[in-house]
Amino acid sequence: MVEICEVGPRDGLQNEKVILSVDERVEMITKLINSGIQFIEAVSFINPKIIPQMAFAERVMEQVPRRKGVRYAGLVLSSGGMERALASGLDEINVALAASNTFNFKNARRSTEDSLAEMTPIIYKAKGKKHNVSGVIGTAFGCPFEGSISFSYIRFIINTFLENGVDAITLADTTGMANPKQVFQIVEQFKEHFPRVKLGLHFHNTRGLGIANVYAGYQAGVRRFDASIGGIGGCPFAPLSVGNVCTEDIVHMFEQMGETTGIDLDQLIQIAKWTEGKVEHPLDGYVMKAGPVERTIS
């Protein structure tokens, strides 16, 4: 069983030019839940002046369907964000920083270690309220400004996260720099140092290696992957396409490999097409165009 964490409503939509309404975001999330997705990053608690696509997170969370087994996660980058997140009925909180100091400065206007220090009380607060917390480490597979990031530094971040009570770690390839050999090696290192810590992987398909990286992570034993419906979040004709790996494409791959996800592929394809209409440009997904292997048999 592979767990897909659908990040389209958050990492996907926040990178789209078209801003979806609260109702549209709730409709998207509802469709995704109906398809069998049980883990969804639904919102981000960030200043709407900076990312207007993520405004009104509370209103989204008020309206999403509550189903047994379905967990809603939200992204939190600051102490103010955590206050909002805790009040909004999320199941899981994702706290995020970049392992690259330069990248973290550009993104969060502080050093990686300052971000880490700022997160300590935030994580304590969430844990005090019995929320699950995941520590998301961006640029874990390389940074466009600093190049490769040493695993020993990633280990330091993970150890700090774990000391603060984080329940799971996600290693994120924020700008699509990972390659499958590296993914396998990093997961092996992670398992060696943190054999009992739940690990998720988050890939972007910037250089076409997103699915190969998912496969390499799977081979190394990872069973949790972030993905976004239709691969939203990037435009295939933008100079730097930054879409997440495409949910229905990896669900299709896992199905073909005999691995279950609990998600209905045909529904996912319909949702990808619906989403394509909403974001108003062609999406990156392949299976939404070609159809699944099984359905080609005539």
Residues that bind its own copies (CB under 8 A): 142, 144-147, 175-177, 179-182, 205-209, 211-212, 214-216, 236-241, 246, 249, 252-253, 256-258, 282, 285-287, 289-293, 296-298
Q: Report DSSP letters for the chain, one per residue.
A: --EEEE-IIIIIGGG-SSPPPHHHHHHHHHHHHHTT--EEEEEEES-TTT-GGG--HHHHHHHSPP-TT-EEEEEE-SHHHHHHHHHTT-SEEEEEEESSHHHHHHHHSS-HHHHHHHHHHHHHHHHHTT-EEEEEEETTT-BTTTB---HHHHHHHHHHHHHTT--EEEEEETTS---HHHHHHHHHHHHHH-TTSEEEEEEB-TTS-HHHHHHHHHHTT--EEEEBGGGTTS-TTSTT--PBPBHHHHHHHHHHTT---S--HHHHHHHHHHHHHHHTS----SHHHH--SGGG--
Q: In angstroms, what is the minimal distance from the CB of 192 to its own copies?
A: 20
- Cβ-based nearer residue to its own copies, 32 or 251: 251
Q: Do 60 and 28 touch, CB atoms closer than 8 A?
A: no
Question: In whole angstroms, how close is the CB of 198 to its own copies at the nearest point?
Answer: 23
- Specify the residue, 170 or 174, whose C-beta has the smaller distance to its own copies: 174
CB of 1 to its own copies, least distance (A): 16
Specify whether 5 is catalytic.
no
> Would you say 135 or 138 has its CB closer to its own copies?
138
Nearer to its own copies, 159 or 256 (CB): 256
CB nearer its own copies, residue 198 or residue 273:
273
| Least distance from its own copies to the Cβ atom of residue 180, Å | 5
Closest approach, Cβ 219 to its own copies, in A, equals 8
Which residues are tagged catalytic?
235
